Amino acid sequence: MAKKKQSFEESMQRLEEIVDALSAGSLPLDDMMKLYEEGKTLSKECLAQLEAYEGRLEAVAPDGAAEKTEA
């Protein structure tokens, strides 16, 4: 069964949990590495989602409108 893709918000929430757990520093090294790897994967997925949304915004925004909001 395929794993359901998390929403951006769910991924960000999980990333916050991972950062908190890693920051506490009380986990065994093996567990810390697993969380770090999960965090890297989530980070890449979030970035890809943001880039996709950016592309969608550029597609529907009038020419130059997206540039004005970046300032």
For the segment 21-62, what is each residue's pLDDT rounded down to a tens digit?
999 999 999 999 999 999 999 999 999 999 999 989 888 886
pLDDT at 65 exceeding the cut of 80: no
In the three-class reduction of DSSP (H, G, I as helix; E, B as strand; rest coil), residue 47 is classed as: helix
Cβ–Cβ < 8 Å for 69, 56 = no
* pLDDT band with cut points at 50, 70 and 90 for residue 18: very high
Give the DSSP H or E segment for 4.
Answer: none
Look up the pTM and report it: 0.73
